[in-house]
A and B are shown apart, each in its own frame.
Chain A
């Protein structure tokens, strides 16, 4: 057997391997080159990349925006991460991302870090959210909890391990807790609203940046409790039960209406996107943000979120116009 006959026999495999490479190269189709020189107006085709990272609560909303945007501008690569609101800001303020998703307003130390690194942030509130406390669908005893009861459960030194310690009329059922981790804006907001201090929470619960894992955990145990943004509850409403919250004014259930008119307190909040002024100078980023804001109703609908009320919408478009004169 000499080498030429070996080569002959291996030729088909070489061709197959080359075909795979060619397929891979040709099939990608997208042109990832940054186009600083291209003029950016709505009717022109844009290209480039937009990097977004941050809140896992806002993630489905921005992903929906990216998908709908891709239908109009297929040459712009929008990548969306979910490192958590805190994690997102860390990257945003050193210029690693163009837009930061956030489920709480930017904090003072984050503003300072941004200024240190020459990143100017712009804040747009794009949706409302009701932080929903959920329990397993088989939980028939709890319907409404007061803020004090929630505080007792979630406080840093809490040792409550059973439902009957929350309220003596509840049955003897072990309490299984799940919730977001410390990089999450939802975590920050919840601890601030319920425990009075941002970041103060007990640590013996199933923590995850991915809200779907929390859903899984609550679905799996009869005595489970978790919290996350309203859209995750809505998506899984058949297998979860949302608790009504009594913030001092009676029990209020989370819904689009109660969140928009502010009666779902103290767990109603706004969701934000923070594009940097530097990134907005690139036409593809401006195009994406413009699309996001101009089509916010459709995007909110597609992602199953709670939209802005009329007053908030006016503020949003005014803000955007002021920023970009568009």
Chain B
């Protein structure tokens, strides 16, 4: 078997999922977290899964990383079956989740990474060399000998990223990797992933996020997921073209009785949703509006006056992924199902926690 660095076209799909379904056997009734998911990701692709908490993103990642079995359907990673060829898949993949607290606080950053390198079979010296290289690459030089327990959130996530790259994975699963990070730290993580991916053709990344801008910046293709189903797949540009026929406005008001739903009912309004990056507070409410035509704006302004809402700002904007999401899902990320169950929060648990909440919701259960 011969190969050429840079020739990724002869490789099998990095991800190939057919009819994937996953049901959690929760009480009082089972909850469907994934339903009929078909997906193909090419080797070398940067692919994003975009959706709210509980959409099924993490369940999909867990199936693809061999941590969870599908209830029905099949999935392959570079040709290896996730149900039966787990060992082979684990040799070529790695994963990093946002807010990850893995490892042992008593170790230094360098020691912790070396420990994980041993789990992937790197030689002792090779492991130390690789660890030192990655520490430098992620910008943790100053924290090299610092105990893990003393790292800040951003530093910790940089270390987690280094851990995820220890075995030079062919496919890297990133589950909300910038969750809770400040702008600068999040940018650092994104740049690092892009740089790593660019080193060798064929390296593939599957990213889940609910940060629209992040998905837009990083992903070559995106799947919009909600309630366990893939609603649309395409490049960011392709997805945005779906809403280009509509007039998109960003509206800021001092109050909005009845929420965006009150606007969505108005004639000529295609959709209305809270802007995900500007959650409502006591002072103002920001809403993304999609109108069939600009003329419908007059009706919106009149209705707002009737609701005693004072307009702070109003501007026409280019379609964003958020507009695509609102159009497809019928609500914004900020309005989407969230799990407010009193459980220890972990983003990795979102699908099940949200499913759990759904199962206990009297409305869902009738």
Is chain B a partner of chain A in the same complex?
no
B residues whose Cβ falls under 8 Å from a Cβ of A:
none
